[in-house]
Structure 1
């Protein structure tokens, strides 16, 4: 609805501007310099009003009309010049253009503000990584907290696995950012394939680290780790633009949830620390 209103104001402003330009050519040629100055002031007022708002627009239009009216009055009273019809046109068109421009600018800024607000709200509530299709870090911490609670209550084994692509920056520099997104998506799909349905896969906030929540102990997680590494050995990164073939190397860290006093951040840090020893 707001977009339709903006379209209406744009059309109205275009029609008025078109009429002013055509009317300018019909005005008496002996007042060409005066009318040229007023035309320039009119469009300057319209441009500034677009960015400044209605109050500033009407104030600026009042100032322009005041000085122009004083000039016309001086010519009529002191010099005895008659008041020509084009004077009334400028007195009407200056505030009209200023008001139209201010209204249009205000509505466009409102649409931009609403769009930015909706974008921020969307980013706050979205729980899926747009490049890999996996759940993102917001969903990860929520589910991790739930799984830790289930593990404590029902004595279920729970392991956290973090998977990181080795030499990420170097690989990205070789294949490019678009191809890198495809590679991360492919790696994520491989990990989902190598895990069970009840296990959960995530893409963390750095855009390069995967997290897997596994309902198994450390020994079972090590089996998954070897399965992932063996599967990724057959996954080569070929860049068609350059004669370079790269084998994927993953660094994987595993930690089992045994310390029930541990919170979600501590659980993650334990997996990150274990990943440092995976060479």
Structure 2
């Protein structure tokens, strides 16, 4: 009976050390060992029961279990902490959108800051184009996420084919893309805009030929960089405002 009690105590110490730490596990095991040894001494003194080998095993196993369980908990928590930190660092380092293969919002602001500084320093042209997919939420509700990913890929391919090698395209959020065009004035950016819209119209014809009741509609806003634009956020906001005038 006593051994069953000690086995239960062993489990309790193990659980306490795992969830509360080594120190509390040791304190709990010390308390159990104290009562256990007191009982053994009482039995040995009053009832003349001999001290068995199992008594010494329990006296070693209980604090040892507290130590092992506590260390295991510490190591697991450490691994989880490292894993969480690495995942965050990985997300912070990723600048590519998985669906489209375009750079993402993080990459966009890094590049935009750099190109704005370069344009200001060397007095170069720089244009920013924002492309917004119209009725995205409605299309997503009707077609589903998988089909919308296909549409995003179509638009990203159209953009990639329409721009030059030195231009950079981005996916800013679910329904908004951007193109950063170094050494390009407003007129040059308008040429790219028209090229993109013509290609989207061609893609819509292909989609209709496949008997799919889908029509890709986009709005495009363009702003050419001026020295009065102080920040990347302001530059992007100005380009987004131009979307209102694209009819």
Give me the TM-score of the superposition, normalised by structure 1: 0.76
- Secondary structure at the residue paired with 2:221? strand
- Secondary structure at the residue paired with 1:246? coil
**Larger relative contact order, structure 1 or 2 (CA cutoff 8 Å, min sep 6):** 2
- Secondary structure at the residue paired with 1:36? helix
Query: What is the distance in 1 between the residues matched to 2:148 and 2:15?
Result: 44
**Pair 1:113-2:113 in alignment:** no
Q: What are the Cα deviations for residues 168-215 of structure 1, in whole angstroms up to 9, with x where unaligned?
A: 2222233433443443234222211111111111122x3432110123
1:193-212 equivalent positions in 2, closer than 5 A: 193-204=161-172, 206-212=173-179
- Secondary structure at the residue paired with 1:202? strand
Structure 1 residue ranges without an equivalent (≥5): 1-32
Match of 1:160 among 115, 128, 141: 128
- Number of aligned residue pairs: give it: 241
Q: 2:20 maps to what in 1?
A: 52
Q: 1:99 maps to what in 2?
A: 67
Query: What is the distance in 1 between the residues matched to 2:123 and 2:45?
Result: 100
Match of 2:94 among 93, 114, 126: 126
Comparing 133-142 with 146-155, greater Cα deviation is found at 146-155
Q: 2:227 maps to what in 1?
A: 260
CA change 1:50–1:194 in 2 (3 A) is same
Q: 1:11 maps to what in 2?
A: none
Query: What is the distance in 1 between the residues matched to 2:241 and 2:119?
Result: 22
Structure 2 residue ranges without an equivalent (≥5): none
Match of 2:151 among 153, 176, 183: 183
Q: What are the Cα deviations for residues 199-240 of structure 1, in whole angstroms up to 9, with x where unaligned?
A: 111122x343211012322222222222212222343598xx
- Secondary structure at the residue paired with 1:276? helix
CA change 1:105–1:178 in 2 (3 A) is farther
**Pair 1:74-2:42 in alignment:** yes
Q: RMSD in angstroms over aligned alpha carbons?
A: 2.5
Q: 1:3 maps to what in 2?
A: none
C-alpha deviation, 1:67, in angstroms: 2.0
Give me the TM-score of the superposition, normalised by structure 2: 0.85
**Pair 1:144-2:112 in alignment:** yes
Q: 2:4 maps to what in 1?
A: 36
